[in-house]
Every structure is written in structure tokens, then in C-alpha cells.
């Protein structure tokens, strides 16, 4: 495109993936829930103390760090793995079966809604680009 063609079109801001944003927020919130569930497991003495802290803190830290790797479509499988790991903590704290199931549902919603919004935004932007704007003609 020449400078004359670019002059008629405003610069577009960089768009951030809604799917990535929703997934990042969910993982960050979930890391706090996992940390508090670790405190519950520690208080109930469901397993030996080092094992409880190793599993709980590892899972919480992985969830906090995971948004950094959510770049490609395949990277969201890592999030599914973390959801299954959260669900499996129900072995020690039975209430985590329910909490894990809730987070799996929230993760599924984030994946579906986020990808739908991203596709709709891409179509909208493509449509905007296809419409030619003639500043001389105000019709």
C-alpha cells in the first residue's frame, strides 16, 4: 500500500486474544484456590506434610506461570492438563472433586467463548478492511 492509501485508514491497535485473556485470568484465580486447598490438606493431615506442600505449591506455581506459554492453539492443552491435575487432588481432599469439576467447566467455557469471540473479531476486522473509505465522498 502506498502512503496515500494508508492516509485514509486509521492505524489499528494490536488485538489481544480473548481466549488467552480468559484462560490467563482463570489460571491465576485457580492458583489461589489451589494454594488454599493446600492449606486445607495440610490442616487435615491427609498425607505427609512435604508431599502436601510439594504437590500443592507446584500446581499453584505452574498455574501462575502458565499464561506465559499460552501462545499457540496447542498450548491450551497444557491448561487442560492442569485442570485434570486439579481434579485429581480430590484423592486427598474430596471436596476438590467438586471444585475441580467447576474449574473444568469454567476452562471449557473460556476455551469456547474465547475462540468464538476471537473468530468474530477476525471476521469483523476482515470486513472493515474490505470496505473502502473515500474521504472525498461522504455517502
71-110 tens-digit pLDDT: 888 899 999 999 999 999 999 999 999 999 999 999 999 9
Domains contained in the chain, number:
1
Structural domain boundaries enclosing 56: 18-130
Answer yes or no: is 37 within a domain: yes
pLDDT tens-digit map of 12-28: 667 789 999 999 999 99
Answer yes or no: is 80 within a domain: yes
What is the model's pLDDT at position 16? Answer: 86
Answer yes or no: is 3 within a domain: no
Answer yes or no: is 4 within a domain: no
What is the model's pLDDT at position 3? Answer: 55
Answer yes or no: is 95 within a domain: yes
Judging by beta carbons within 10 Å of its beta carbon (0-12, 13-18, 19+), is residue 73 exposed, middle or buried? exposed
Q: Is 70 helix (H, G, I), strand (E, B) or coil?
A: coil
What is the model's pLDDT at position 134? Answer: 60
Q: Is 90 helix (H, G, I), strand (E, B) or coil?
A: helix
Answer yes or no: is 136 within a domain: no
Q: Is the pLDDT of residue 67 over 70?
A: yes
Amino acid at each position: 500500500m502506498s502512503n496515500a492509501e494508508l492516509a485514509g485508514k486509521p492505524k489499528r491497535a494490536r488485538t489481544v486474544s480473548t481466549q488467552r485473556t480468559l484462560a490467563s485470568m482463570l489460571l491465576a484465580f485457580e492458583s489461589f484456590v489451589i494454594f488454599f486447598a493446600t492449606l486445607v490438606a495440610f490442616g487435615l493431615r491427609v498425607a505427609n506434610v512435604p508431599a502436601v506442600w510439594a504437590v500443592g505449591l507446584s500446581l499453584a506455581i505452574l498455574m501462575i506461570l502458565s499464561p506465559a506459554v499460552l501462545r499457540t492453539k496447542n498450548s491450551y492443552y497444557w491448561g487442560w492438563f492442569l485442570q485434570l491435575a486439579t481434579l485429581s487432588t480430590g484423592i486427598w481432599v474430596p471436596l476438590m472433586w467438586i471444585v475441580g469439576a467447576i474449574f473444568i467447566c469454567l476452562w471449557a467455557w473460556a476455551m469456547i467463548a474465547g475462540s468464538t469471540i476471537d473468530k468474530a473479531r477476525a471476521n469483523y476486522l476482515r470486513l472493515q478492511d474490505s470496505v473502502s473509505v473515500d474521504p472525498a465522498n461522504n455517502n
